[in-house]
Chains A and B, each alone.
Chain A
């Protein structure tokens, strides 16, 4: 919470155009945002691009933050992750990395296993209550950004099964997180 109130203070000052506060906010959060982008994109250049765009947005949109949107860090992670997903889904990314998609899904990239080293948070306790298939699909979709079709390819399970694992897994997560 200490950390959160510091983030809120920096973000509020950023909303008023305080560049030094924005620089501090960057220092305080860029390691996390970079991890999120790198985990998804598995390429430093693209992760840096996504992150730059995310911070430009944070600067412009700082005043729109409110705590319905989660902690400041989570709000910023959301911004960065959407941008990284856009890049991941873009045609040029697919062209450049077509051969290696399967490989990445097997976590052979340099940052492949980042998510295995993460801190355990509340949602992880809830993830542990899911069936293996549900948990695995949600994690692959979240951390690797795999689509339904890619999950089918990756696991060899039929599309219907994948969709149902994800849907039911998310429903169960919600019951656990919002009892």
Chain B
């Protein structure tokens, strides 16, 4: 892939770290990061180079309340009020979020309608994601509940023969994507809820195209789509 020539890797990674990679180029870069370890390594090299500039700034003393709030957020000390839970949600926003083409409100509404029928005993509020195709058509509706991941393939999804579609958790911390299992090509299915969901900020879910049986390498072979989890 020509993105991965040494020069291309360096130019994209350096501008990403500098903050001058914008818009679609930034999104494309982030999906390359998900799939390609050499790209992540180039990123780390440039973080090391350029952020030495930041590390050399003269120290400034933050207000002591900052440490208090960090401890509250991490649950080390009791929260004085509800404000911090809002803070925590904002904390979940991060650079990986960019990667997820934000599902439109209409698509979310559709997901809610489809996933909530027929009405069952309402489970605890969960998170949903809509995996959208290139024309913004909904392909899979995904609901993350407290116990599992429920998935519905829509009728708009036309699977390729001899291919499987694998779902990945993309954590905000830049670790390699974690496989959640294979997506159904029609109808409904459920997957186990990976314990990682409770330990990391989830930047996005990603769907990759794989040979039958799923990724042979443990990494996504070709990332097709990404989607953002939205809390209802």
Contacts and interface: CB of A to CB of B under 8 A. Distances in A.
Partners in one complex: yes
Contact of A118 (B51, B57, B63, B175): B57
Interface residues of B, number: 51
B175 A64 contact: yes
A3 B17 CA distance: 25
B58 A35 contact: yes
A114 to B, nearest CB: 6
Nearest to A44: B63
Contacts of A119: 56, 58
Interface in A79-131: 81-83, 85-86, 111, 114-115, 117-124
Contacts of A178: 45
Interface in B45-92: 45, 47-63, 65-67, 69-70, 73-74, 76, 87-88, 90-91
B57 A70 contact: no
Contact of B18 (A31, A53, A73, A170): A170
B114 interface: no
A69 interface: yes
Contacts of A123: 49-50, 52-53
A56 B73 contact: yes
A136 interface: no
Contacts of B47: 69-70, 74-75, 78
Nearest to A30: B62
A39 interface: yes
Q: Interface size bucket, A side? A: 35 or more
B61 A141 contact: no
B222 interface: no
A138 interface: yes
A32 interface: yes
Interface string B1-13: 0000000001100
A167 B41 CA distance: 19
A8 to B, nearest CB: 15
B27 interface: no
Contacts of B69: 48, 52
Contacts of B48: 69-71, 74
Given A48-B66, A55-B70, A60-B200, A121 B53 contact: yes
A68 interface: yes
A21 to B, nearest CB: 13
Given A52-B87, A81-B51, A118 B20 contact: no
A61 to B, nearest CB: 4
B61 A138 contact: no
Contacts of A48: 62-63, 65-66, 69
A23 B56 CA distance: 22
A9 interface: no
B53 A142 contact: yes
B41 A68 contact: yes
A67 B105 CA distance: 42
Given A35-B59, A60-B201, 17 more contacts: A48-B69, A49-B87, A52-B70, A55-B70, A64-B174, A69-B44, A69-B48, A73-B55, A74-B54, A83-B94, A114-B58, A121-B52, A123-B52, A141-B20, A142-B19, A142-B53, A145-B19
17 contacts: A26-B67, A30-B66, A32-B54, A36-B57, A48-B65, A49-B87, A55-B70, A60-B199, A75-B47, A77-B54, A82-B95, A114-B57, A119-B56, A119-B58, A121-B53, A124-B53, A145-B19
A-B interface, 6 closest residue pairs, ranked by CB to CB distance from nearest: A31-B59, A70-B48, A61-B173, A35-B57, A36-B54, A34-B62
